[in-house]
Chains A and B, each alone.
Chain A
């Protein structure tokens, strides 16, 4: 609901003057003071008041100015603080808002937008009706804080109805029903085993989590994404596993396991699914049946980098004959083409270096912008290539051990 003082949706109420924004329409203010009642009506066209009428008792007169409202730039109208009464805002052909004001505070609001009605009572509830049916209800305590205990949210969608419950000010339970009233699931905070049922009450899926589920009330959609479960794309924190069943049987139709929001292995319709860093890969890749050429030819960069890490640059340099760009007794800069790489990573550059003390060779990947040993070596120590090329910051290696 619109907070008429700040003009923001669902904002935390603050004390101060009341605000309304009207481009074309009417502003009506009804005040009820201890001695008299007044009614002001202002007609607004293109952000300007074109007509004002004030009724006080039986007297009615055109107003030279506004008594309870004053106009500010940008189509905003401010209501005099401290009044009791009603503010009615009619946006021509769009909405009608009615705000109840007590001592200058917005305490209740009603908005009508075609067949939609929104009702809000400060510190109590917010409800939305569509064609007379209650489709959304949310209960509060102070301002917009979640209800301390009990059902604080009910939301009706075409396919489901979502209900949420709180305890000690935290969300502790979520229940989702199919549109025919059958329960889809009922989960509590830190649940590790979750059963999902279909519209006929038969088991549809079972989810097993190593770490308890954390309920979050910020997203206004079900925490368990059934579509993702069915399509084997659901992900959870910690270690997780879920399976889905054939209709009217307990045969497993598909399953997926993974950890930390990343799938590792799955099965669906007689086919196994394999993943590397959450990206689906062919079976032979997942089982390590690849060579250095396969790695550099792999189309996905994330998978390619992961395979490089697993394979090792030393092994890659042994298996492939790269182009030597620069070489001395201790170092060699080698270039390998990456056919599917994105610019600038269309080449892989490796600095081969021998430890002066142990005489062992080490391999480090360096940026493709490095053109010689000096640039590559300096980059590995955190020195920008531009600094290496600059005479002012040129580095000179005195001793290596």
Chain B
């Protein structure tokens, strides 16, 4: 799987079998332009052009295995037909090629109770 990183945010490109069906499902959800907000500085990772991609926070009912056989837990999905750019005040612009991405934030290990 191809991944792209901007600071503490990771974009994992998904191989979607039925893109139209997924886009239809995503269209039922509220769109946003903010990928993530920094915990310390409050700076945001966000879309440079809001029309360049569908970016939605998904709830528990949205299961990516309907569209990609590899199951993953995630909170935000980004789909772009033309390619999209993510901007952040402290990091360089991240250019994402066309495709569907699930988005993960960085986490830290605490002890054995916090295993995966």
A398 contacts B112, C-beta separation under 8 Å: no
B3 contacts A365, C-beta separation under 8 Å: no
Interface of A is mostly: loop
Q: How far apart sit A395 and B3, CA to CA, in the bound complex (Å)?
A: 7
Complex: chain B residue closest to A358, CB-CB? B90
Given contacts A344-B112, A345-B112, A379-B109, contact A356 B92 (CB under 8 A): yes
The reply on B28 being an interface residue by CB < 8 A is no
Q: How far apart sit A349 and B109, CA to CA, in the bound complex (Å)?
A: 9
| Per-position 1/0 for B26-60, Cβ under 8 A of A | 00000000000000000000000000000000000
Range of interface residues on A (Cβ < 8 Å): 20 to 34
CB distance from A399 to the nearest CB of B (A): 5
Total A-B residue contacts, Cβ distance less than 8 Å: 87
B residues 88-116 near A (Cβ < 8 Å) are 88, 90-95, 104-112, 115-116
Q: Which B residues touch A357, using CB under 8 A?
A: 7, 90-92
The reply on A393 being an interface residue by CB < 8 A is yes
The reply on B62 being an interface residue by CB < 8 A is no
Q: How far apart sit A342 and B4, CA to CA, in the bound complex (Å)?
A: 35
Q: Which B residues touch A345, using CB under 8 A?
A: 111-112
B106 contacts A305, C-beta separation under 8 Å: no
Interface centre among B73, B74, B112 (most CB of A within 10 A): B112
Given contacts A305-B111, A358-B90, A382-B104, contact A394 B3 (CB under 8 A): no
CB distance from B47 to the nearest CB of A (A): 15
| Per-position 1/0 for B5-35, Cβ under 8 A of A | 1110010100000000000000000000000
CB distance from B106 to the nearest CB of A (A): 5
The reply on A366 being an interface residue by CB < 8 A is yes
| Per-position 1/0 for A98-115, Cβ under 8 A of B | 000000000000000000
- Hey, which bits of chain B sit against chain A, CB under 8 A? 1-7, 10, 12, 70, 72-74, 88, 90-95, 104-112, 115-116
Closest 6 pairs (CB-CB, A-B) = A401-B92, A381-B10, A357-B91, A400-B5, A381-B104, A382-B104
